[in-house]
Amino acid sequence: MATKDRRHQEIINKIRKIMKNVGDDILIEGIMPSLEIPKVGYDNTVWSDERRMLTIGNKTVQIGPNSSKKIPTFAQYLVMANAIRKLLDEEMESTIRGMYYATLSTVGDEKNQQKFWSGQDDSDDAIKAIELLTNVPREEFSVTSKPKGMISGPITLSVGGDLIDCNLGSRATSQLIPTNIRDLEIVKVKADFVMVVEKDTVLNNIRKSGFIQKYNAILLTGSGEPDRATRMMVKMLNEKWKKPVVIFADADPWGLGIALRYKIGSESLSYDSDRLVTPNSKVLGMMFSDIYEYNIPKVARLAATQEDLNRANDMKKKPWLQDKQWKRELNLFLEHKEKCELDAFFKYGFKYLADTYLPNKLREAGVI
């Protein structure tokens, strides 16, 4: 508890420093205050060869109350910073939605009234800005999101001292990955490797087949776009517990994108890659080439939408996806204009995915 207090105090001081600077600009310097925040997005995302992940570049943006657009933003950032300070002060914990409600209010007089936040997206952005400003991840603000990642297998977690055994033996359920990662500890890992899949439906199917017991594996999913806790869990298992990590996602540009979030990171979270990315993980499938190698029946393939094609073309242009393997796969997709979900293997029987496809792929990669 004592260490926590100190860390909290550090963050509170950081926020106070920001407030002090703004106050000084106005009172002492007599200039428009401004917050310098690292720029987040494609044009400030840099591939690091050394760390083998996406990192944030040197570009910054100035947020100050100097344009009609930025006046509200500036106020929003300061209000959010103050709310985070209060949360830490009170030793409380909140979801990002909770922060949205805590700071909800209306602006303006009766004639020109509007909402302080136009939606939760705005307040989420403000939280992100405070992360960037203070260089502190949101977990340390005690701000989390709703858990959505799931884990199953021979691993024991401790959440705030409560032990959770994820190897429930019944094959019937998985554990949610807690998002208050500061309270989370991995106590024991008995698995040989970690398998990440894109969707919870696929995870359920694999778990039910007895895959965990047969291959002594941990199954993990982010239920689509993985949250920060899931990514951190994967990284910890790989780097701290030295377990090989393999990733399976759908054979479409979206799925490939999700798989790569784990392996190389993302543009929108490039500032936090060090905490989130697992460069040693292996994306094993489902490759576009698998559609043809495993001869997925035509009826189980889906036609690519224009959005899919645009996304694939975009991905092809990214400097960090110039690797031959990815280029080949994306070209294959653009050529055939077909995509396929992991669930498509159910066409060959409900156990085909867990009993045949996955073991084949794992064997090829030398994981089993």
Residue 329's closest CA among 251, 247, 249?
Answer: 251
Strand ranges inside the chain, DSSP E? 35-38, 45-48, 53-56, 60-63, 94-95, 106-107, 114-115, 143-144, 150-152, 155-159, 162-165, 175-176, 184-189, 193-197, 217-221, 245-248, 282-285, 302-303, 338-339
In this chain, which of 5, 7, 10, 26 binds other proteins, going by CB under 8 A? Answer: 26
* Bridge partner list, 61: 37
Region from 71-79, 132-140, 143-151, 185-193 binding other proteins, contact rule CB under 8 A: 71-79
d(CA 329, CA 159): 40
Out of 112, 170, 295, 306, the only residue in the binding site for other proteins (CB under 8 A) is: 112
Among 62-70, 256-264, 315-323, 337-345, the segment contacting other proteins (CB under 8 A): 62-70
Of 161-200, binders to other proteins (CB under 8 A) are none
Q: Is 102 in the site for other proteins (CB under 8 A)?
A: yes
Peptide bond into 32 cis (omega under 30): no
Residues found in the chain: 368
Residue 143 interacting with other proteins (CB under 8 A): no
| Three-class DSSP labels, 267-289 | CCCHHHHHHHCCCCCEEEECCHH
- Candidate list 48, 57, 61, 82; residue touching other proteins; CB under 8 A: 82
Hey, what are 353's tokens?
């995915």
**215 in active site:** no
- Candidates 38, 61, 75, 332; binder of other proteins (CB under 8 A) is 75
Tokens of 73: 């933003």
User: Which residues on neighbouring strands pair with residue 339, listed in sequence order?
Assistant: 302
Question: Segment contacting other proteins (CB under 8 A): 67-75, 262-270, 278-286, 349-357?
Answer: 67-75
State the nearest-atom distance from the C-beta of 120 to other proteins, in Å: 17
- Considering all CA atoms of the chain, what is the largest pairwise distance in Å, rounded to the nearest integer? 73
Count of residues of this chain found to bind other proteins when the rule CB under 8 A is applied: 36
Asked if 105 interacts with other proteins (CB under 8 A), we say yes
Tell whether residue 64 is a contact of other proteins (CB under 8 A). Answer: yes
In whole angstroms, give the CA distance from residue 204 to residue 350. 11
What residues contact 179, with CB distance under 8 A and at least 6 apart? Answer: 139, 144, 145, 146, 147, 227, 228, 229
The answer to whether residue 34 forms part of the interface with other proteins (CB under 8 A) is yes
Q: Which of 42, 77, 101, 271 is catalytic?
A: 101
Q: Residue 311, Cα to own-chain centre: how many angstroms? A: 19
Nearest to 295 by CA among 262, 265, 340, 242: 340
Q: Is 119 in the site for other proteins (CB under 8 A)?
A: no
Q: Shortest approach of other proteins to residue 39 CB, angstroms? A: 16
116 binds other proteins (CB under 8 A): yes
Q: Is there binding between residue 74 and other proteins (CB under 8 A)?
A: yes
- Binder among 3, 43, 58, 69 for other proteins (CB under 8 A): 69
Which of 41, 46, 60, 71 binds other proteins (CB under 8 A)? It is 71
Among the listed ranges 82-90, 182-190, 211-219, 351-359, the one in contact with other proteins (CB under 8 A) is 82-90
Q: CB–CB of 234/283 below 8 Å?
A: no
Q: Which stretch binds other proteins (CB under 8 A): 99-107, 281-289, 340-348, 349-357?
A: 99-107
Residue 304 in tokens? 């690519």
Q: Give contact residues for other proteins (rule: CB under 8 A).
A: 15-16, 19-20, 22-23, 26-27, 30-32, 34, 62, 64-69, 71-72, 74-75, 78-79, 81-82, 85-86, 102, 105, 107-109, 112, 116
- Residues acting as catalytic residues: 101
